[in-house]
């Protein structure tokens, strides 16, 4: 069993632990041949495709304290998204434990929005799910529309939005109320330079209010500039933790 590594320095030493990841293992099954065609299925006698087990996260342990911004880096398939989904409670564990102390909001490029409903209705539903009253949501509608950049399109069905518009609105909804823990999976990679700058300002606002942020990103520059600490995963294992500049430099040397 791995001993937990306390990620400190970005918050007070006596700051409470917001996220405690203890010897976490994540396994799931996938089809062995993703390109299995209908013709192959017929020729095989209608037998189902074989599945294989993927050990996505293997014995990872660390702690994150209130007020920190943790960046998760690693190559494709390293287990980053599986781990952040597990922290959000969206991915089951094979073994180990994750203790999340606070109200968490998960934001990703695949954030759950209802495409048949208007942006406005999605804002209302998202706000109610976060415990806001209708009056509080209505007071924030103009800010949400302005921050996301969707403008008058907020009254149109989400199915008419571009992927960038959906991601920007999802970010605005998730941060209407500053969460105690904000989990971001690649969502800040969308939008123009101005929106990304505003998004990072909002991330810093969460941190300043003693919130905790966990950010998954392929942009090493974003990790180095916006995070207080970083965790490097490789093939599901914890490769390195520490100041983001040092972790990013070590990762780049390997690549």
pLDDT value at residue 174: 82
Give the whole-angstrom CA distance, residue 143 versus residue 58.
42
φ/ψ of 236, rounded to 5, equals: 85, -5
Q: Which residue in this structure is represented by tokens 């966990």?
A: 214
Mean pLDDT (whole number) for 22-26: 98
Q: Does 208 or 88 have the greater pLDDT score?
A: 88
pLDDT value at residue 202: 76
Give the whole-angstrom CA distance, residue 251 versus residue 64.
21
Cβ neighbours for 138, distance < 8 A, ≥ 6 positions apart: none
Digit-coded pLDDT (tens) for 43-53? 666 566 677 89
Largest CA distance in the chain: 64
Please report the beta strands in 39-128, taking only residues with DSSP state E, as ranges in sequence order: 51-65, 69-73, 95-100, 104-108
Give the range with max mean pLDDT: 105-114, 135-144, 188-197: 135-144
Mean pLDDT (whole number) for 80-95: 94
Mean pLDDT (whole number) for 75-89: 93
pLDDT value at residue 75: 92
pLDDT value at residue 20: 98
Cβ neighbours for 224, distance < 8 A, ≥ 6 positions apart: 244, 245, 248
pLDDT band at 42 (very low <50, low <70, confident <90, very high): low
Q: Does 242 or 29 have the greater pLDDT score?
A: 242
Mean pLDDT (whole number) for 123-135: 90
Q: What share of the chain is helix, strand, coil (3-state, %, to 5)?
A: 40, 30, 35
211: its two tokens: 């919130």
Q: Is the pLDDT of residue 144 over 50?
A: yes
pLDDT value at residue 244: 96
In the chain, the domains with their CATH numbers are 5-103+179-254 (3.40.50.300), 112-176 (no CATH)
Q: Is the pLDDT of residue 58 over 90?
A: yes
168: its two tokens: 């920007």
């Amino acid at each position: 069993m791995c001993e937990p590594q306390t990620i400190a320095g970005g918050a007070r030493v006596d700051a409470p632990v917001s996220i405690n990841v203890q010897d976490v293992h994540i396994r799931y099954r996938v089809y062995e041949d993703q390109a299995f065609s209908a013709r192959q299925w017929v020729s095989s006698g209608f037998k189902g495709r074989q599945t294989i087990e993927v050990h996505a996260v293997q014995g990872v342990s660390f702690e994150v304290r209130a007020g920190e911004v943790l960046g998760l880096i690693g190559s494709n398939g390293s287990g980053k998204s599986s781990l952040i989904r597990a922290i959000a409670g969206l991915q089951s564990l094979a073994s180990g434990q994750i203790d999340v102390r606070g109200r968490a909001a998960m934001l990703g490029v695949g954030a759950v929005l209802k495409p048949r409903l208007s942006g406005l209705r999605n804002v209302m539903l998202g706000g109610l799910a976060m415990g806001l009253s209708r009056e509080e949501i209505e007071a924030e509608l103009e800010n949400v529309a302005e921050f996301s950049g969707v403008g008058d399109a907020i009254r149109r069905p989400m199915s008419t939005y571009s992927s960038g518009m959906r991601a920007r609105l999802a970010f605005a909804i998730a941060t209407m109320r500053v969460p105690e823990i904000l989990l971001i999976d690649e969502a800040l990679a969308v939008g123009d330079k101005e929106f990304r700058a505003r998004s990072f300002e909002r991330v810093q606002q969460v941190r300043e209010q003693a919130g905790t942020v966990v950010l998954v990103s392929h942009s090493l520059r974003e990790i180095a500039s916006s995070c207080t600490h970083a965790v490097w995963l490789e093939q599901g294992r914890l490769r390195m933790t520490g100041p983001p500049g040092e972790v990013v430099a070590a990762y780049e040397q390997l690549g």
